[in-house]
Structure 1
Amino acid sequence: MNLKSGLLGIVIALFSLSGAARAAAPDPPAIDGHSYGLMDYQSGEIIAGQNIDAHVPPASITKVMTVYVAFDMIKQGRLKLTDTALVSQKAWAEGKDSSESRMFLTLGSRVTIEDLLRGIIIVSGNDASVALAEHIAGSEDAFAQIMNQYAQKLGMTNTHFVDASGMPNDQHYTSAHDLLILAHALIQNFPDDYKYFSEHEFKYGIEHPQQNRNGLLFKDPTVDGIKTGHTEAAGYCLLASAKRDGRRLISVVMGGQSWAYREQANQELLNYGFRNFDTASVLGAAAPVQSMRVYKGADNEVGVGTLDPVYLALPAGEKSQLQVQPQISGKLIAPLTAGQKVGEATILLAGKPLKTVPLVALKDVPAGGFWHRLVDQIKLWLGM
C-alpha cells in the first residue's frame, strides 16, 4: 500500500506532556464514558485522556477506516469516484429489517463510489459500507483484512476489524488512542477528501435528505467532522475535530450515555483544549539552532536544525519558557547532504526536558577543492 511516507513518521510522535508542563494547565473536564482522548493535531500529542488504550467497540466509527482505505486507493489510482459498484443482496439487506442506519440502496443497482462514500460518511449507511467493501475486495471479510493491514501500518496497536460497518463482535475492537491516530492520518493524508465529513445532509433513494449524524456540525461552526457510532455494547460514541484560529484539535468519546451527551462531552474537550493549550512551533529550516564549522567543504559553515518545524502542545502562555539544547555528534566533514543527521536537540520547558529530536544539516555541502581539503585535513590532525 502506498501510504504517505510522512505518515509513519507522524504515527505518531504521541507522548504526554511532562508533569511540569501539565501542571500549568487545569485538569480536563470529567467525562462519563468508557474512555476518551484529546489530540493536538499539529504536534500529534495527546493533551488529555482516560483509559485511552483500553479496548472498546467502535460501532460505526469503524467506517472511518472503511473510507480511509477507499481514499487511499483513489489516491493510488486503483479506484475512481466515478466508478460504480453493484449493490448485492448482502449490501441491500444490511440493516433493512432493523433500526441500523442505511443509505437506502436498491438491490441490483449500480452506485458511484462518490455516492457510496457520502452515504457512509454523512448518513452512516451500513448498506453503503458493504457495497464499497465488496467492490474493493470482493467480499466484506476480505476487506476487513485490508482494514487490519492499514491499521497495522498506521500504528493502531489496539485495533482489530472484522467488518466494514462496526457490527457488534467480540473480535471487533479499537481504542480511543487508535481512533485519534486514524483521524490524524485521515486529515493529514486526504485534506481534499476530508471535506465530505463536514457535509450536513445527503439524499439518496428516499424523498427527504438524511442529516449528518454528527450533531456538533450544527452546533459549532468550527467542527468539521468526523463520525458517530452507537450500539448497545459500544454506547454512544463520537470522534470529532475542530479548527479554530489555525489550530486543529481532535477529540473522541467512547461509551457515552446518550447522543446528546457524546456531543456535550466532545464539545467540552475541544473547548478545554483550545482555551488551555497552545501549539508552539520550534526549529525548522528557517530557524537553524546554530551554524557549524564544516571541514573539507565548498562552504565553511552549515546551519543545523530540522528540515520541518517541530510542533509542541503547551499550556497556554508557556511558549516563552521553551529552550533548545543542541548536542552535535562530532566535527562535520564534507560532503554533507541536506537532512543528514549531525546530532540531537533536547527541547526543554522551564528547564525540564520535553522532547529530543534529531539535528540535521539544513543544506548540501559538497566537497571543496583539493588544496582546501588538504589544508583542512592538516587542521583536523592538529585539532584546530
Structure 2
Amino acid sequence: MRQFARLPLLALLVAAVPAVAQPTHQTVAPFAYMKDLSSGQVLYSKGADQRIPPASMGKMMTVYVVFDLIKKGEVKLDQKIRVRPETWQQWHGPKAGSTMFLSANEEVSVEDLLHGIVTLSGNDACVVLAEGLAGTEPAFAQMMNQVAKRIGLKGSNFANSNGWPDDMEYVTARDLAVIGERTILDFPNLYKKFYGQPSFTWGKTLGSGAPITQGNRNPILGRVRGADGLKTGHTEAAGYGFTGSAVQDGRRLVMVLGGLNSMNERVKESVAFMEWGFGAWKAQPLAKAGTVIETAEVHLGDKATVGLTAPRDYSMTVPRLGGGEVKVKVVYNGPIRAPIAKGQRVAELQVSRPGMPTATLPLVAAEAVGEAGPFGRLSSNFRNLFFGN
C-alpha cells in the first residue's frame, strides 16, 4: 500500500482566489485557541499546547463520558443516584466551591445531575455522578482518561471529576476545544438538551425553604448570537477560563481562553474573541454532501475504483475582506482493499492556506465495493505484480 495525494477537481475552483492579509486578533489571555468546525480550520492559536489546570472546564470531560454511556444504553437519564452522606459532607459549604445544593441521602436523576454540572458547575453533582456510575471517583477518573485517549487528547490528564486543583490534573487549550468539538458532533441531541440553558433550579434555602435558582455562568450566552455552550472555569492557579461555542449562518466555532484575571475580563475577552471569529472570517463553499470529489483505486474489489464523497457540506474559512490562496488535495492509502462499505471513511481532504495549519476533512466511499471473484483477484494480482501497487 502507498499514499496517494491528488489534486481533486474542486482545486480548480479555489486556485484562482487572490491572496489577502491574515486577520489578526489581540487578547490578553495567555492561552487562546479557536477552531471553525464547519471547515476544520484553526483560526487562532496562542499557547494552545501548554499544560494548564482545567478548573471547572474539566467537567466537560465528565459530561462527555456520561453522554457516551447514555448513547451506548449503559446509563439512563431517569436513573437515580443516592447522595452519600460522606460525599455531601465533603462537597457542601463555602469551601466546596460551586454547588448544586444537593442534600444527604437525596436520590437524584442522572438528568438533573447533568443539569447541575453543565449549568450550575456543581462540584457536588460531579462527584455524586462519578460515584454512582463508577463506584468511586478515582475509578471514574480512570474512565475519563481512557475516553480522553480514544478521542485524541494529547496533553491532558484527569485526576477527578470536577476539576478540583490537583498536581496530576492538567489539560491544554487545544484539548479543551477537542472535548467541546466531540461533544457537539458526537452527541448533538444531548448537547442541545443540556448546554446553553440560562438557569436551573435545585435545592432549597435554609429557613424559608425557597427554591434555589442559579444562572449559567457562560459569558457569551445572550451576548453573542447563536451561543449555546460550553463551560467556564476558575481557580487561583488557573485564573479565569472559558471554553465556548456558537453557531451563526451555518458556521460553528469553538473557542478556548485561559489564564484571565477576573470574571469581567473573561466576559469582555470571550465576547470579543467570538465576535472576531465570526466577523473577520467567512465561509466559502467547498463541496456539497454526497459530491464525488475524486476516485480512488481499489485492490481486490469487484470494481476498480470507488468515488470519494463529502459526508456533509464542506466549506473553507477565508478572510471576510477577501479569499486567500487556498490549496486542496485528496490523500489516501491505496489501492484501498475491498470490501468497502458505503459511507466508510477511506480518504481525507486536506485544505491549506499560507500561515494557517492544514485542515483535514474526512472523505467516505460513495458506494459499496465487494470483494472480487477468483478471476478478478487473479487479474488484480497480475496488475500489481507488473505495475506495482
Superposed pair shares fold, TM > 0.5? yes
Structure 2 length-normalised TM: 0.78
Q: How does 1:1-384 map to 2 (within 5 A)?
A: 24-28=21-25, 30-93=26-89, 94-98=91-95, 100-195=97-192, 196-206=194-204, 207=210, 208-283=212-287, 286-289=290-293, 304-309=307-312, 310-316=314-320, 322=326, 324=328, 347=351, 354=358, 362-364=366-368
Give the gaps of 5 or more residues in structure 1: 1-19
Contact 2:296-2:334 within 8 A present in 1 as well: no
Q: Distance in 2 between matches of 1:188 and 1:126?
A: 26
Contact 1:100-1:126 within 8 A present in 2 as well: yes
Structure 1 length-normalised TM: 0.79
- Alignment match, 2:9: none
Contact 1:307-1:339 within 8 A present in 2 as well: no
* Secondary structure class of the residue paired with 2:124: helix
Shift of 1:73: 0.7
Contact 1:328-1:342 within 8 A present in 2 as well: yes
Q: How many residue pairs end up in the alignment?
A: 361
Q: Match of 2:214, as an amino acid?
A: Q
Q: Distance in 2 between matches of 1:87 and 1:36?
A: 37
- Across the aligned residues of Structure 1 and Structure 2, the Cα RMSD in angstroms comes to 4.1
Partner deviation per Cα, 1:228-253 (whole Å, 9 max, x = no partner): 11111111111111111111101111
Q: Distance in 2 between matches of 1:364 and 1:151?
A: 32
Q: Match of 1:101, as an amino acid?
A: S
Shift of 1:368: 10
Q: Distance in 2 between matches of 1:169 and 1:332?
A: 46
Contact 2:244-2:254 within 8 A present in 1 as well: yes
Q: Match of 1:86, as an amino acid?
A: R
Contact 1:179-1:252 within 8 A present in 2 as well: yes
Contact 1:25-1:276 within 8 A present in 2 as well: no
Q: Match of 1:112, as an amino acid?
A: S
Compare 96-105 and 363-372 and name the one that shifted more.
363-372
Contact 1:62-1:165 within 8 A present in 2 as well: yes
Shift of 1:308: 2.4
Partner deviation per Cα, 1:274-310 (whole Å, 9 max, x = no partner): 11223444346643345799999988x9673334255
* Secondary structure class of the residue paired with 2:202: coil
Q: Distance in 2 between matches of 1:362 and 1:333?
A: 15
- Residue 241 and residue 137 in structure 1: after superposition, are their counterparts in 2 closer, same or farther (change >3 A)? same
Q: Distance in 2 between matches of 1:295 and 1:65?
A: 40
- Residue 380 and residue 72 in structure 1: after superposition, are their counterparts in 2 closer, same or farther (change >3 A)? closer
Q: Distance in 2 between matches of 1:149 and 1:372?
A: 43
Contact 2:298-2:334 within 8 A present in 1 as well: no
Contact 1:339-1:360 within 8 A present in 2 as well: yes
Contact 2:42-2:359 within 8 A present in 1 as well: no
Contact 1:283-1:308 within 8 A present in 2 as well: no
Q: Match of 1:235, as an amino acid?
A: G
Q: Match of 2:237, as an amino acid?
A: A
Q: Distance in 1 between matches of 2:218 and 2:232?
A: 6
Q: Distance in 1 between matches of 2:113 and 2:338?
A: 55
Compare 96-105 and 331-340 and name the one that shifted more.
331-340
Shift of 1:319: 5.3
Shift of 1:355: 5.9
Q: Match of 1:49, as an amino acid?
A: S
Q: Which has the higher contact order (CA 8 A, sep 6+)?
A: 2
Partner deviation per Cα, 1:185-231 (whole Å, 9 max, x = no partner): 01111111112111111111122311111132132342111111111
- Residue 296 and residue 52 in structure 1: after superposition, are their counterparts in 2 closer, same or farther (change >3 A)? closer
Q: Match of 2:309, as an amino acid?
A: T
* Secondary structure class of the residue paired with 2:277: helix
